[in-house]
Structure 1
Amino acid sequence: MSITVTIEPLNNSYCEQIINLILPIQQIEFNVPVTLADQPDLLDIEANYLQGGGAFLGAKYGDELVGTIALINTGHQACALRKMFVKKEFRGKEHGIAQLLLDNLIQFCSANDITDIYLGTVSMLKAAHRFYEKNGFSKISADALPPYFPRMKADDVFYHFHI
């Protein structure tokens, strides 16, 4: 099935849709012990992502938000990749939504003089690890993270990509 998806910037008017996409994936699908209280950034996208020179992008199928990716600009020509989620029914190579989101994020970085992308994820998300590695991300130890990288409590696997 071929679907048409658009990638567009998201702001605070999308907070509810973002939360309704991300929380069930984290809590129900992957049993990650994280709540909305652990992620207050989702309640104010503009202050936590956009104001600092970052981005929050959404993949939309019609009016439905089916995927997200975000970056926090950490300065030092670097960023932290966050909130990479695709709704289960829209995952996979045949849809290409995760790839489209990542490609758009890398384009944003290139246009904004960001040369290094860091990310943290959890060990149980093996498909995500394969996706990042296929896209040229290198697994690094927590000790190799720069001191300005904002770590999330649940993250235990880390990656780096140099543009």
Structure 2
Amino acid sequence: MAASTDDDFVADINVTPFVDVMLVLLIIFMVTAPMMTEGLDVALPKVETSEVLPTEDDHIILTIKSNGALYLDEYETGLADLPEVLTTRVKNAGRQLFVRADKDVPYGMVMHVMDRVRGAGVSDVGLVTTSLPDDASGAETSGAAASGSKKDNLQ
């Protein structure tokens, strides 16, 4: 008896489902990627001389918004909880802290936060600013470091 053609094995690979899944993943990535890079909206002070903020993940950014709200990276925290959180996430983890304060935040508020930072034992602190408009980079940069910090690490 001769074998029928219905029982023949098909050696072709059907890539259509694979392409469909990859296109869906690509669309998901394209939609979610901009949301992951957005930070907190803060109007940073502009300075003439500044250095580029490091891109490594070994630092934490403390943001002070114009309304006085504090954010450690993207998570809101209170002024009373700040020393404990900084001790855990910055000092014990061996990470560097950068402070981003809105230009409309009163100087007294920034100094009050810096006092809490020092009280937590964090000594390596950088202050984040932005370059003046004539700078071509337009990237977020870190300006002068607070006293007692390692200025060489900011270069």
Report the TM range for the smaller structure's normalisation: 0.3 to 0.5
Larger radius of gyration: 2
> What TM-score comes out, normalization by structure 2 length?
0.35
Give the structure with the larger strand fraction: 1
Q: Normalization by structure 1: what TM-score?
A: 0.34
